[in-house]
Structure 1
Amino acid sequence: MISRFQIAYKNLLRKKMRTLLTLVGIMLSSWVLVSLLGFNRGYENALNRDIDNMGYQLMVMAKGCPYEAATMMLQGGTGLRYIARSMVDSIVDKPEVDRVTPILMQAFFDPNKGDGGGIAGYYGVDPATFPAMKPFLRFRQGGWFRDAQAAEAVMGYEAAELEQREVGDMILVPEKNVQLKVVGILERSGTQDDGTIFCPLKTLQGIAATDKITTIGIKVKKGADSAKLENALYQLPDVQVVSFTQVKQTIMKLIATARVMVLSIAIIALLIAMVGVVNTVLMSVLERMQEIGIMKTMGAMPGDIFRLVWTETLILCTCGGIAGIGLAFAFARLSDLLVRRVLPYAPGGNLVAIDMRLALLTMAVIVGVGLMSGIYPAWRAGRVRPLESIRREG
């Protein structure tokens, strides 16, 4: 006995091109929808991970725009002002402070980096405090520096891959003609640390000819009042305090504006696809009026006709949704690269995080909206009067 699904499938194949175009519309709308939902989840997770991997919750730096400064720090950028090294002593004894670490950021133009040259980012860090701030960093080769004044470097995974360096190799600091020995290469972390070159703070201060620093990272004690600590730090002269919780909220607000626009586009694409579903199924019903009338004269009830036509809608939406979700999985990496090109700040890791739970949610939305779209054509088919339809077609 031929099932309702087989009949519905054969009905859709009668107009192959029309059915194909409808499937393409559903496929594209589901692709956009699942990619957008994946971006919403992936970006926030990546941003949280980048902030957590900073190893500290607060930063102290010279006065300026705090959010711009924090974003530049997350990106490994430059252009920050300097503060005195002695500022660390004014912070470390505060009761809410667990640990502090001084950092000097420097960037040098490297003519051999990329096409036309690029910027090489160096972090001068204190060997006594910085590794304890980031215990999650793991080494692929070697380890941290021997002492606080060693002419040595630890390279992030991507920095080492780009320059093809191994432990024991020498690297030349661009513009300064100073050589550093590579003593460690980090494993891939999926953060900005992957592209960074670390060296002892005093060593980088000597190379940059400065006794100052750019940033003080502060780890707050568990359960301590970070707001109280922030207020106390604001009393220090000529410094700006950056809370990464606030930075996260600000960045997410900026991204939310773009996300609303893209979500609107996705909804419009979904509505257009559903109009295509209505058109395809309704045209199929109108072309088969006589056939439906004959089925009714043979005993088919209106509910049977309704379910048959609704099944055609279900097949269209299911096939189109599966194809679109499959494309989203296949091109997730490409979507990630495109997003990174247009965002002012892109954290490390995957920005488009698509999993089966998200895919099933998207599938449920596509099928649910599609079935709602198919109610009218199915209802129209169920109301066909057998004799009138046969006589009209005849």
Structure 2
Amino acid sequence: MISKFQIAYKSLLRKKVRTLLTVVGITLSSLVLVSLFGFNQGYEKALNHDIDNMGYQIMVMAKGCPYEAATLMLQGGKGLRYMDPGMVRDIAKRPEVQATTPILMQAFFDPNKGESGGIAGYFGVDPSSYPAMKPFLRFRKGSWFVSDTAREVVMGYEAAELEQREVGDMTMVPEKNVPLKVVGILERTGTQDDGTIFVPLKTLQQIAGTDKITTIGIKAKKDADLVRLENELYQLPDVQVVSFSQVKQTIMKLIGTARVMVLSIALIAVFIAMVGVANTVLMSVYERKQEIGILKTMGAMPHDIFVLVWTETLMLCAGGSVVGIMAAMLCNGITDLFIRRLLPYAPSGGLVAIDFRLALYTLGIILVVGLLSGLYPAWQAGRMRPLESIRSE
């Protein structure tokens, strides 16, 4: 006995080109839709990973410090504001804080950078606390400093490439003409650490002629109330607080705006594809009036005809959506590269994460919308009168 699926399949093969174009439209719609859902899931996961890899979730710095960037670029760091190192101990006593690390950011004018010179940035870090804050940092060669007063530097991957340095080489601090030995070169991380030159905190303080710091990195406990901690830190005099959770929220809001626009385009694409499905099935129904009439005279009920036409719709949507989802999974890397070129900021790691659950979710959406689009053609077929259908040309 021939099943409804076999009849529906043979009906779709009668107009192969029209059926193929309809399936291609559904394929493209499902590809766009699952890729968008995958981007929504992958971007947030990658952003969370990058923020976690920063080691500390909150930075406390001297008030106005972030706005000194223009001063650093134009005047070589003059007017930079500092904090007392004793503040590190005060913050570390708070119950929400797991660890702290003091940092001194210092910039020196380097006449050898470019035609008119440039700025060389140095990070003074505490060897006893900073490496523990960033355990994900890996060395291509060498290791961290031997002591907190060593005349040594650890260079990020890009900083070492730019200055053509290897472990054991000597490098000179611009302006101060202080020689430092390169003891380590980090692996590429894809973060700002790649262009950073790390120096022991006390060594950089001695070179810069100050006993102050510019930043305190804070790592909170896992169950800590970050909002409460941030509000308490805001009460400290002459400091400002930068929370990476706030940075994350800001970025996600910007991405969310773009995501709404792209989602609108994807939904329009799905709607157009479903209109194509409805048109294909409706044309097939009108072309088979006599056949439907004969089936009814042989005892087929309106419900049987309705299910038969709906089955055609189901096969079109299922075939196109499965192909589209598989194509999205296979082209995941290309989609990731394309998005990276469009976005002003993209975290490390995969930006598009398509898993089995997401694939099933997208398939369900396409099938539901597709079956809804097939309601009218199936209803039209079911209400046809047998004699009128047989007599029609």
TM over 0.5: yes
What's the CA shift for 1:108?
Answer: 9.2
Instruction: Give yes or no for the alignment of 1:292 onto 2:277.
Output: no
Q: What is the aligned partner in structure 2 of residue 244 from structure 1?
A: 244
State the secondary structure of the residue aligned to 2:145. Answer: coil
Q: Is the Cα contact below 8 Å between 2:137 and 2:186 reproduced in 1?
A: no
State the secondary structure of the residue aligned to 1:299. Answer: coil
Give structure 2 stretches of 5+ with no counterpart.
69-76
Query: Pairwise mapping of residues 1-394 of structure 1 onto structure 2 (< 5 A)?
Result: 1-64=1-64, 82-84=81-83, 86=85, 88-89=87-88, 91-96=90-95, 97-105=97-105, 123-139=123-139, 142-150=142-150, 152-154=152-154, 159=158, 168=167, 170=169, 180-183=181-184, 185-186=186-187, 193=193, 198-202=198-202, 213-221=213-221, 223=223, 226-393=226-393
State the secondary structure of the residue aligned to 1:329. Answer: helix
Distance in 2 between the 1:200 and 1:269 partners?
Answer: 56
What's the CA shift for 1:225?
Answer: 5.3
**Residue deviations 1:41-72, cap 9 Å, x none?**
11211222222222222211233598x99xxx
What's the CA shift for 1:5?
Answer: 2.1
**Residue deviations 1:204-227, cap 9 Å, x none?**
667878765442101234555545
- Answer with 57-66 or 312-321: which moved more: 57-66
What's the CA shift for 1:352?
Answer: 1.3
- The one-letter amino acid of 1:312's match is E
**Residue deviations 1:125-184, cap 9 Å, x none?**
22111122233445565432222344545466x649977999746486897897752535
Distance in 1 between the 2:192 and 2:309 partners?
Answer: 54
Q: When the two structures are superposed, what TM-score results if normalisation uses the length of structure 2?
A: 0.80
Q: Is the Cα contact below 8 Å between 1:88 and 1:102 reproduced in 2?
A: no
Give structure 1 stretches of 5+ with no counterpart.
70-77
Select the structure of larger CA radius of gyration: 2
What's the CA shift for 1:342?
Answer: 3.4
- Answer with 41-50 or 159-168: which moved more: 159-168
Count of residues in correspondence between the two structures: 379
**Residue deviations 1:359-389, cap 9 Å, x none?**
1110111111111111111121122222111
**C-alpha RMSD of matched pairs (Å):** 3.9
What's the CA shift for 1:82?
Answer: 4.4
What's the CA shift for 1:310?
Answer: 1.2
Cα distance change of structure 1 residues 124 and 5 upon mapping to structure 2, 3 Å threshold? farther
- Percent identity, aligned pairs only, is 67
- Answer with 374-383 or 297-306: which moved more: 297-306
Distance in 1 between the 2:107 and 2:327 partners?
Answer: 40
**Residue deviations 1:271-306, cap 9 Å, x none?**
111101100111111111112212222333222222
Distance in 2 between the 1:166 and 1:303 partners?
Answer: 79
Q: Is the Cα contact below 8 Å between 1:108 and 1:120 reproduced in 2?
A: yes
- The one-letter amino acid of 2:329's match is F
Q: Is the Cα contact below 8 Å between 2:310 and 2:375 reproduced in 1?
A: yes
Cα distance change of structure 1 residues 98 and 319 upon mapping to structure 2, 3 Å threshold? same
Cα distance change of structure 1 residues 268 and 169 upon mapping to structure 2, 3 Å threshold? farther
Q: Is the Cα contact below 8 Å between 2:120 and 2:174 reproduced in 1?
A: no
Q: What is the aligned partner in structure 1 of residue 74 from structure 2?
A: none
What's the CA shift for 1:247?
Answer: 2.8
State the secondary structure of the residue aligned to 1:241. Answer: strand
Q: Is the Cα contact below 8 Å between 2:109 and 2:119 reproduced in 1?
A: yes
- Answer with 306-315 or 356-365: which moved more: 306-315
Q: What is the aligned partner in structure 1 of residue 72 from structure 2?
A: none
